[in-house]
């Protein structure tokens, strides 16, 4: 358990929470508490808890259990490409009267 | 109801130097709304030719303070946005921001405890929002903050944490990993399994845990707590990426 | 007409290119002196004892080299400029490795082979027309700047195609597959340009 180990790629990893603003831009609602199922291994995780790699041509969200790619987000001048092939589903909870933004 | 977050132009009202590398930036928001402790704002800079750079910064202030937010920002060497914030901005300047953002790494006093907060370096910023909110809401939920910094001078919010430590049910545990001043009575080693056991045990089997800081530190703490028996579903992490210094 | 907000005193990290190198910077790029690490996933764990590099697909028979065998092939030092689609360019990067032309001397290509997919540990793929990697246009590198290629930069072996955006230079490369039909790779199916010529600014799908 060495916090100073030198896996530079791993050190760049963030949580899905880091993409909360972009996801809210795409989906129109706060997404990080919404669950998604990995198409590869079946693990269900909240979007905010996915493993996020953002220092890349696009943002890559991976399953925290098996590390397979679940979603990618590529921003171009006129569009955002969303690839969700690696997610069996993304569950968008309906807002309740008590939920906040 | 969807809650779109729009960009707005905030006005910088104050800058407070917290440590040699961290400053708090107070921003008055024309469209302020109460945030949840743990959320962040996105900051976007635009150059005259249209080039833009954008980063996310955690809110340090409590949602109970209306109209203005404090962002805690560490100056990263060669950091495009943080060096601008630290070196160019002065009170009165305007900054484009969007938020508040996040629904995963958040705590509200009505959720109660027990609560275990683990922060490394600037990772303490969103945890400070939680503690300030806890104070403002007069919560007595059993809470422990375990905060590690390199040296005494790197402890952000040092005096305020000493004061908050008197709040009912709150214990602040500090560790300095690189150098300790004479007479230091806190921890002086990096997070390890034994330390996690000591810190977590009084909070019972399943505290709500929030861990924030450099990615590798967060991973070490999350793995250690999972090994200590804390259910993974109770652990929320906010990785900040590589450590800045 | 609303004026766009401009942050007082902000110009960003970009520097105007020096006159001597301006014509080496493709459109929309800026020069950097460091070597940014871009990461789309965890670093693959590599066991050099079991590692191989393979040329397969539309060849008479697959050709495979172990790490030791690859190191014994005639090597060269390549000094090339690299251009990342995220807009940074690094000039005069120095690599040591084996030219793709040298590798192909050991393989017998089927005349139907028109495209190639480079594939890597960790599942990454990228694609290009075969001519884009022949006649000195591509190599597999095991050293950068005189030292083994660091894991975060794609070591032990990285594919390098300097004439295309850097996402085509597959890190942790394990093989080249010769194909009759083009097959878009990881980024090409997710919004990036199928070809990726930086001099024509072919960044995104449809450019």
**Per-residue pLDDT tens over the stretch B119-157:** 999 999 999 999 999 999 999 999 999 999 999 999 999
Average pLDDT over residues B203-228: 90
Complex confidence, ipTM: 0.90
Number of structural domains, chain C? Answer: 1
- pLDDT value at residue B3: 61
pTM score, whole prediction: 0.91
Q: Is B90 in contact with C8 (CB distance < 8 Å)? A: no
**Candidate from B32-41, B198-207, C111-120, C178-187 with smallest mean pLDDT:** B198-207
- CATH node for B109-239: 3.40.50.80
Contact B88 C10 (CB under 8 A): yes
- pLDDT value at residue B36: 97
In a domain, C99, yes or no: yes
Distance between CA C46 and CA A61 in Å, rounded? 23
User: For residue B68, which phi and psi values (nearest 5 degrees)?
Assistant: -135, 140
Give the start-to-end residue ranges of the domains of chain B: 7-101, 109-239
pLDDT of A98 over the 70 cut: no
Supply the angle between the helices B215-227 and B193-200 in degrees, to the nearest 10. 70
In a domain, C101, yes or no: yes
**Candidate from A30-34, B81-85, C2-6, C129-133 with smallest mean pLDDT:** C2-6
Q: Give me the CATH number covering residue C158.
A: 3.90.420.10
Interface of A with C in 31-70 (CB under 8 A): 53, 55-58, 60, 62, 67, 69
In a domain, C206, yes or no: no
Kindly indicate the confidence band of residue B194, based on its pLDDT and cuts at 50, 70 and 90: confident
Contact B9 C5 (CB under 8 A): yes
Q: Is B19 in contact with B155 (CB distance < 8 Å)? A: yes
Distance between CA B139 and CA B124 in Å, rounded? 19
In a domain, C90, yes or no: yes
Q: Is B58 in contact with B70 (CB distance < 8 Å)? A: no
Distance between CA B241 and CA B177 in Å, rounded? 19
pLDDT of B78 over the 90 cut: no
The pLDDT tens digits of the residues spanning B53-76 come to 999 999 999 999 999 999 999 999
- Structural domain harbouring C162: 48-200
**Candidate from B90-94, C19-23, C154-158 with smallest mean pLDDT:** C19-23
Chain A positions touching C167 (Cβ under 8 A) are: 57
Give the start-to-end residue ranges of the domains of chain A: 21-90
Q: Which CATH number fits domain B7-101: 2.60.40.420, 3.40.605.10, 3.30.2290.10, 2.40.30.10?
A: 2.40.30.10
Q: Is C62 in contact with C55 (CB distance < 8 Å)? A: yes
Extract the tokens encoding B52. 């833009």
Q: Is B239 in contact with B215 (CB distance < 8 Å)? A: yes
C5, C9, C12 member nearest B53 (Cβ):
C12
In a domain, C68, yes or no: yes
Contact B50 C9 (CB under 8 A): no
Kindly indicate the confidence band of residue A75, based on its pLDDT and cuts at 50, 70 and 90: very high
Mutate to test the interface with C, among A9, A22, A51 (most CBs of C within 10 A): A9
Task: Give the minimum alpha-carbon distance from B84 to chain C in angstroms, rounded to a whole number.
Answer: 7
């Amino acid at each position: 358990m060495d916090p100073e180990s030198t896996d530079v790629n791993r050190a760049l990893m963030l949580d899905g929470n880091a993409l909360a603003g972009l996801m809210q831009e795409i989906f129109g609602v706060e997404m990080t508490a919404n669950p998604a199922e990995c198409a590869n291994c079946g693990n269900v995780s909240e979007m905010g808890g996915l493993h996020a790699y953002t220092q890349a041509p696009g943002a890559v969200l991976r399953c925290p259990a098996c590390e397979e790619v679940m979603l990618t987000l590529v921003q171009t001048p006129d569009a955002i490409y969303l690839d969700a092939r690696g997610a069996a589903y993304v569950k968008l909870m309906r807002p309740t009267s008590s939920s906040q933004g | 109801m969807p809650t779109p977050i729009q960009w707005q132009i905030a006005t910088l009202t104050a800058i407070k130097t917290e440590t040699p590398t961290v400053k708090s930036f107070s921003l008055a928001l024309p469209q302020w709304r109460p945030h949840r402790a743990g959320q962040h704002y996105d900051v976007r800079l635009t150059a005259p030719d249209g080039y833009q750079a954008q980063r996310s910064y955690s809110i340090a202030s409590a949602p109970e303070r209306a109209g203005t937010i404090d962002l805690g920002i560490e100056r990263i060497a060669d950091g495009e946005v943080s060096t601008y914030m630290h070196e160019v901005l002065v009170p009165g300047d305007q900054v484009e921001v969007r938020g508040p953002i996040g629904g995963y790494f958040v705590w509200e006093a009505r959720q109660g405890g027990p609560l275990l907060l683990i922060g490394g370096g600037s990772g303490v910023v969103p945890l400070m929002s939680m503690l300030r909110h806890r104070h403002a809401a007069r919560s007595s939920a059993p809470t422990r903050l375990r905060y590690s910094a390199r040296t005494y001078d790197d402890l952000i919010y040092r005096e305020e944490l000493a004061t908050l430590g008197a709040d009912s049910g709150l214990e602040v545990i500090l560790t300095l990993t690189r150098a300790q001043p004479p007479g230091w009575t806190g921890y002086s080693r990096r997070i390890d399994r034994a330390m996690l056991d000591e810190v977590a045990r009084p909070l019972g089997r399943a505290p709500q845990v929030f861990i924030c800081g450099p990615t590798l530190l967060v991973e070490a703490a999350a793995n250690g707590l999972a090994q200590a028996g804390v259910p993974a579903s109770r652990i929320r992490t906010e990785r900040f990426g590589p450590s800045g210094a | 007409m609303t004026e766009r907000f401009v942050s007082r005193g902000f110009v960003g990290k970009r520097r105007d290119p020096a006159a001597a190198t301006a014509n080496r910077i493709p459109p929309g790029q800026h020069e950097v002196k460091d070597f940014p690490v871009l990461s789309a996933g965890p670093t693959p764990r590599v066991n050099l004892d079991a590692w191989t590099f393979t040329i397969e697909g539309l060849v008479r028979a697959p050709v495979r080299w172990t790490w030791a065998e690859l190191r014994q092939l005639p090597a060269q030092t390549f000094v090339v400029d690299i251009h990342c689609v995220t807009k940074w360019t690094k000039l005069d990067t120095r690599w040591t490795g084996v030219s793709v032309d040298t590798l192909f001397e050991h393989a017998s290509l089927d005349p139907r082979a028109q495209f190639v997919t480079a594939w890597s540990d960790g599942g990454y793929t990228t694609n290009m027309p075969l001519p884009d990697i022949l006649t000195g246009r591509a190599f597999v590198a095991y050293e950068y700047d005189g030292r083994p290629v660091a894991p975060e930069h794609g070591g032990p072996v990285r594919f390098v195609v300097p004439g295309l955006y850097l996402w085509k230079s597959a890190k942790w490369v394990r093989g080249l597959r010769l194909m009759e039909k083009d097959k878009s790779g990881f980024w090409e199916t997710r919004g990036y340009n199928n070809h990726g010529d930086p001099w024509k600014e072919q960044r995104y799908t449809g450019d």
